[in-house]
Structure 1
């Protein structure tokens, strides 16, 4: 029996517990992803972060630096928590979603955001316009996000 099957067999499914475990995992993973991006930043030429662009689009005008920083961090952490919660809920009923210890989740999230949604919303460059550094940084930081989300989710879920 695989680890995923053992986890599924060892507890009764609970959407609430899955969402909570995933949310906690997503928050810890957001911190890990942020640290990873400090070591290997995706944007090195002053390009704005997608959450900052989104904050100003939502406001309808440029934001002062303090407001922009608060809005950017709020969006960044909220998205990480939400992504983790959704992941936790999905894994609760579809354990195969935790494949590769969460790395598959991280890569899928990167593809859905940085390769698809963010460029479509005008929040980042189109994939073909992104530098190799930006692509590899985003992919590697999202793998870290996925691995940490799964590790924390699995640990918290066992405790619930």
Structure 2
């Protein structure tokens, strides 16, 4: 019985992760439609970022488009980074991507977003918001890993 060792490949990992991240973002968006984190009209963090970057309030259609662009761009970028990490550190794919989704949630919704003033601090977030963010990030991570690993096997 022989054991085949796969050689890590940066560009394949990046591309597979990017595509996986886009699929994961679509799945996260669908999951948020079912279990939304914000139910009282609070703005989405990407929309807040878009307005902060613009330096003024944006028209609703512009704010929504900018927010979606940031949301999808971040999902693709996070997936690409994850794809490269998976090439060199296969243990990062454990739990079928769920650990990646939870780590991303902790880094963003419990760390960076509140620190940048784009979201409420974890102490100010409702239980619903916290549980929705964790659940939908796990969906993102699992779908990202599933798509990434399927594509990587093909390449």
- TM-score per shorter chain, which class? over 0.9
Number of positions where the alignment pairs a residue of Structure 1 with one of Structure 2? 153
Aligned residue for 2:32? Answer: 37
Cα distance in 2 for partners of 1:66, 1:11 equals 47
After superposition, residues 130-145 of structure 1 pair within 5 angstroms as: 130-145=125-140
Deviation at 1:11, TM superposition (A): 2.7
Cα distance in 2 for partners of 1:20, 1:12 equals 16
Aligned residue for 1:87? Answer: 82
Cα distance in 1 for partners of 2:116, 2:85 equals 26
TM-score, scaled to structure 2 = 0.97
Deviation at 1:10, TM superposition (A): 4.7
Deviation at 1:70, TM superposition (A): 1.0
Aligned residue for 1:12? Answer: 7
Runs (5+) with no aligned partner, structure 2 = none
Aligned residue for 2:20? Answer: 25
Partner SS state of residue 122, structure 1? coil
Aligned residue for 1:128? Answer: 123
The RMSD of aligned alpha carbons is 0.9
Partner SS state of residue 58, structure 2? coil
Deviation at 1:66, TM superposition (A): 1.3
Cα distance in 2 for partners of 1:58, 1:135 equals 26
